[in-house]
Structure formats: structure tokens, C-alpha cells
């Protein structure tokens, strides 16, 4: 049965339909992503977690329009993505290589807006707000490389916020910062998400992080990738590093995701994917994994 490629769930902001990506190399074709279908509602914060080499980055490149999928499509607000869409911002893992080293912090944040031809006054306001939101009001005159890794990633986040995207994609953004900075940045993302009501897709390989951050966790199988499981994270909305992480429910969810990742690593694939195509899974049916 073909998935219904024409109809995204009506409230979906981001919709990935039957996405498949095959790389053609000299050594033959490599199927990185087999078949992925999922929807993100407007304002949702979902984490995408999978074993290493599960095609997370490929998927993100297809969603952000940097790479064309072999089959299937990505819809942003109902419109097919064919190139980097205007309503989307991406934060990459390599903060040191995603900011312009020849521009000061403020110019880095401002550039995408300037490039859109936004008037100076409005630009200034958005840049100030964004820098304020990530706690960097003090360093607009510095160059990115004068800042610590965590601060550089804050600049990248500020640039994404100032761009006023409807969808924010984050590709393992905290994988290269130290643990304490990481905790701060995780909380920052929750705050920003709540404040702006933006739809966030957060890719990570860190299981704890996915459960702590997400309202929903999409677990990927190993490559060629399909969706292993899609679960709702029913933790209280107000999260903090100490209390949330010590909740019994957090431990249960973490345990469950961990098990699924282990299964995925051993090559286990969900029953549905054995029939080459998974039926469309609207967001509403994302399973709520009950207490054991």
C-alpha cells in the first residue's frame, strides 16, 4: 500500500512523507534512509534520536532543503520543500564552522536579516532581542572565535531566533560542548521554544537529552532508516535539570528509549517496516508508552 503522499495531517507544520535517500557512490548505491513518514504539529518540540549512523544528518539535510530526497517529499506548512525554505532555520553541531569568523557576533546574527532587505531599525530590535534571549547582550562586538564553545553555539541560536523561523532544526547542537554548558543550553532551548512558540525538531544521539527536552521522541532504526518508534513524553511542561531528571517517569522513559536504541543497533526493525512502506502515522497516534 502506498502511503498517502498528498495529504498531510491538516495541522502539520512540518510533514515528512515517504522520504528515501540513496547515495550513489563508486562502490554501489548506499541506502541511507529507507522510508520515513512523520508530521510535526505547529509549536511542537520533537526529538529525533537514533543509533550512530542512522541517517540523522541525511534526514536533516533533506528536511532543510540542502539535499534532494531520492523519493518522497518534505512539506513545510503545506508547501513542498525544494530548496532551503525561508521559514526555517538550522543550528548545526559544528558551531565553530557555522558562524562567519570574519564577522563580529552582532553582524553574524544580523546578516540573514540584512540579506532579506529588512529595515535597519527592525533588524536592530530583532538582533537585540535575540542576543538578550540567549544571554549574550554583553558581547556583540566580539568575534565568535573569541568566545567559548557554548557561547558560540548561543550565537548560532541567537541568529536562528532573530531569523524568526516557524521551524527550527537542530542537528546535535550540543554534542561538542561540555556537560555543564550542555545542561544550560538544553534549558535555554526549552525557554526559547516556549516563548516563541516555534516548531522544533531536535536531532540528538543522547538519549537523556531527547527525553529531557522533547514533548515527543522519534526513535530511528539503524540504516537504512525507518521509524522504530514514536513516543509521547508525558513529563510535566516545566522541566528542570535536577527534579525532572530524578522523576521515576523520566527514568522509565529513558529506560524505554534506551532499550529501543539497543534493539535498533542490533538490527531489529519494527514490524510495520518489513512491508516496505509504513502507513502514514499522523501525530495524534504517536504512542503513549504506558508505565510498565
Partner 1 sequence: MKVLKTLGYLLGLPVLLILLWWSSTLGAVNFFVPTPATLVSKFGEVWFGERFFTDVLPSIGRLLVGVVAAIVIGVVGGVLIGSIKWLRALLEPTLEFFRAIPPPVLVPVLMLLMGITDSMKVVVIISGCVWPVLLNTIEGVRAVDPVLSDSSHTYGIDGWARVRYLVLPSASPQIMAGVRQSMSLGLILMVISEMFASSAGLGFTIVQFQRSFAIPEMWSGIVVLGLLGVGMSFIFQWAERNILRWYHGQKEVENAA
Q: Which residues bind partner 1 (CB under 8 A)?
A: 61, 64-66, 83-84, 86, 88-90, 92, 94, 97-103, 111-112, 115-116, 143, 145-146, 159, 163
* Residue whose CB is less far from partner 1, 34 or 61: 61
Nearest approach in angstroms of CB 170 to partner 1 is: 12
Helix-, strand-, coil-residue percentages of the chain, each rounded to 5: 35, 25, 40
Which secondary-structure segment (H or E) carries 189?
helix 179-196
Coil, strand or helix: which one is 46?
A: strand
Residue closer to partner 1, measured from CB, 147 or 207 = 147
Q: Shortest gap between Cβ of 156 and partner 1 (angstroms)? A: 8
* Shortest distance (Å) from residue 289 CB to partner 1: 33
Separation of alpha carbons 49 and 42, rounded Å: 20
CB 127 within 8 A of CB 155: no
C-alpha closest to that of 34 among 6, 65, 72: 72
Smaller CB distance to partner 1: residue 145 or 287? Answer: 145
Q: What is the dihedral of CA 41, 158, 68, 97, to 10 degrees?
A: -150
Write down the least CB distance from residue 72 to partner 1, Å: 20
Q: Which is nearer to partner 1, 52 or 116 (CB)?
A: 116
Residue with Cβ nearer partner 1 (73 or 171): 171
CB contact at 8 A, 42 and 11 = yes
Q: How far is the CB of 114 from partner 1 (least distance, A)?
A: 9
Amino acid at each position: 500500500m502506498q502511503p498517502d503522499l498528498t495529504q498531510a495531517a491538516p495541522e502539520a507544520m512540518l510533514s515528512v512523507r515517504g522520504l528515501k535517500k540513496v547515495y550513489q557512490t563508486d562502490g554501489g548505491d548506499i541506502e541511507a534512509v529507507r522510508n520515513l513518514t512523520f508530521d510535526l504539529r505547529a509549536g511542537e518540540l520533537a526529538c529525533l534520536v537514533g543509533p550512530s549512523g542512522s541517517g540523522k544528518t541525511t534526514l536533516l539535510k533533506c528536511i532543510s532543503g540542502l539535499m534532494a530526497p531520492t523519493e518522497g517529499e518534505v512539506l513545510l506548512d503545506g508547501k513542498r520543500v525544494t530548496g532551503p525554505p525561508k521559514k526555517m532555520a538550522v543550528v548545526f553541531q559544528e558551531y565553530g564552522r557555522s558562524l562567519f569568523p570574519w564577522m563580529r557576533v552582532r553582524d553574524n546574527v544580523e546578516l540573514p536579516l540584512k540579506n532579506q532587505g529588512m529595515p535597519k531599525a527592525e533588524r536592530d530590535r530583532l538582533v537585540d532581542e535575540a542576543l538578550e534571549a540567549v544571554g549574550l547582550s554583553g558581547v556583540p562586538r566580539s568575534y565568535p572565535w573569541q568566545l567559548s564553545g557554548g557561547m558560540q553555539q548561543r550565537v548560532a541560536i541567537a541568529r536562528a531566533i532573530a531569523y524568526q523561523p516557524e521551524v527550527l532544526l537542530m542537528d546535535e547542537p550540543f554534542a561538542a560542548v561540555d556537560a555543564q554548558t550542555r545542561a544550560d543550553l538544553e534549558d535555554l532551548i526549552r525557554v526559547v521554544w516556549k516563548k516563541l512558540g516555534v516548531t522544533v525538531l531536535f536531532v540528538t544521539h543522547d538519549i537523556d537529552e531527547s527525553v529531557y527536552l522533547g514533548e515527543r521522541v522519534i526513535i530511528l532504526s539503524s540504516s537504512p532508516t525507518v521509524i522504530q518508534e514514536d513516543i509521547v513524553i508525558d513529563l510535566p511542561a516545566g522541566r528542570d535539570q535536577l527534579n525532572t531528571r530524578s522523576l521515576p517517569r523520566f527514568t522509565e522513559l529513558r529506560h524505554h528509549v534506551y532499550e529501543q536504541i539497543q534493539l535498533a543497533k542490533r538490527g531489529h526493525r519494527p514490524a510495520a517496516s518489513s512491508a516496505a512502506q509504513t502507513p502514514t502515522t499522523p501525530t495524534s497516534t504517536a504512542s503513549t508508552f504506558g508505565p510498565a
